Amino acid sequence: MSEQKRKVVVVTGASSGFGKATAIKFAQQGWYVIALARREERLQELLQTIGEEQCEIMVFDVCCQTHIDSLVKRLKEKALHVNLLVNNAGLALGLESADKASYDDWETMVDTNIKGLIYMTRAILPSMVEAKNGHIINLGSIAGTYAYPGGNAYGGTKAFVSQFSLNLRADLAGTGVRVTNIEPGLAETEFSLVRFHGNKEKADKVYENVQALTAEDIAESIFWSANQPPHVNVNRIELMPTCQAFSPLSITQ
Ligand code: NDP
Ligand code: 8X3
């Protein structure tokens, strides 16, 4: 069977968490997976798990235009049409209040969560529009809707993802290309380990004694969105663990 007889999904940030679970889920369901991330060892492990028949990997930084260009070149050379792009790579760094936050952390979040996501989208979209077939699924967050102390720039990047997703819908009306924003709440992945710059004790505390969402829960919602009939566009899915809810608005004197 030629690769294109199977649907093709590109997953950014496939080396852990949601991206890894999504790559596995789609491969199990017969899709051909192109898995991208910076950590090669993790990608090799994923390749072993899924199998080379079903998956290819690429060491890839969404902030690097050369990497994006070489992906597009590789797709063209292999005559692969991308049916689905999952813009999942992203991160939160730090939880300090805005007056104490690190400039470097803010810059990395903007570069990855915003610029990486829009440049990936820009690179893949023309082939989808031409084929009148495609789907962009972005990973937003509840942090893009609900503010919390220390969320500052991270929440801002995810609000961008939410609005960018809606604006893509406006541009793509009539093309057959679909756009979905998945907006999860607390989910146990490497997210907190990254947010706290590798402090495992601090990261583990976030998930202590609570039943957070799992990476597989999110992969399931991505898979469900992608498998609606072509006339159905899921604009957004917001999901939280049952243990999480909204805090009251604060009033200080
Ligand atoms: P993880 O830290 O487990 O996974 C993040 C993935 O992104 C890793 O595979 C990492 O791979 C990749 N990544 C980070 N920076 C880059 C980059 N510059 N280029 C390519 N890949 C990159 O976290 P999650 O799975 O939880 O997060 C996935 C997405 O979901 C993020 O966008 C996050 O903001 C969002 N999210 C997470 C929530 C949570 O509570 N966990 C809730 C809501 C949204 P590598 O380091 O190998 O490059
Ligand atoms: C991650 C969810 O609530 O930790 O995007 O910001 S939260």
Which amino acid appears at position 114 of this protein?
Answer: I
* Residue 82 belongs to some domain of the structure: yes
Mean pLDDT in residue range 173-188: 98
* Residue 250 belongs to some domain of the structure: no
Tokens of 6: 């199977």
The CA 234 to ligand 2 mean position distance, Å, reads 21
* Residue 125 belongs to some domain of the structure: yes
Q: Is 43 within 8 Å of 19 (Cβ atoms)?
A: no
Looking at the structure of the chain, the number of domains it has is 1
Taking only the tens place, the pLDDT of each residue in 55-111 is 999 999 999 999 999 999 999 999 999 999 999 999 999 999 999 999 999 999 999
Q: pTM value?
A: 0.98
Range(s) of the domain holding residue 109:
3-239
- Nearest 5°: the CA angle 164, 11, 145 is 35
Tokens of 38: 């910076």
Q: Which residue has the tokens 């369901």?
A: 29
Ligand 2 site-directed mutation target among 190, 191, 218, most atoms within 8 Å of CB: 191
CATH number of the domain to which 77 belongs? 3.40.50.720
* Residue 235 belongs to some domain of the structure: yes
* Residue 244 belongs to some domain of the structure: no
Bridge-partner residues for 205, per DSSP? none
The residue contributing the CA closest to ligand 1 atom 41 is: 187
- Beta strand extents in 38-197 (DSSP E only): 55-59, 84-87, 134-139, 177-184
* Residue 17 belongs to some domain of the structure: yes
* Residue 246 belongs to some domain of the structure: no
Task: Label residue 2 by pLDDT band (50, 70, 90).
Answer: very low
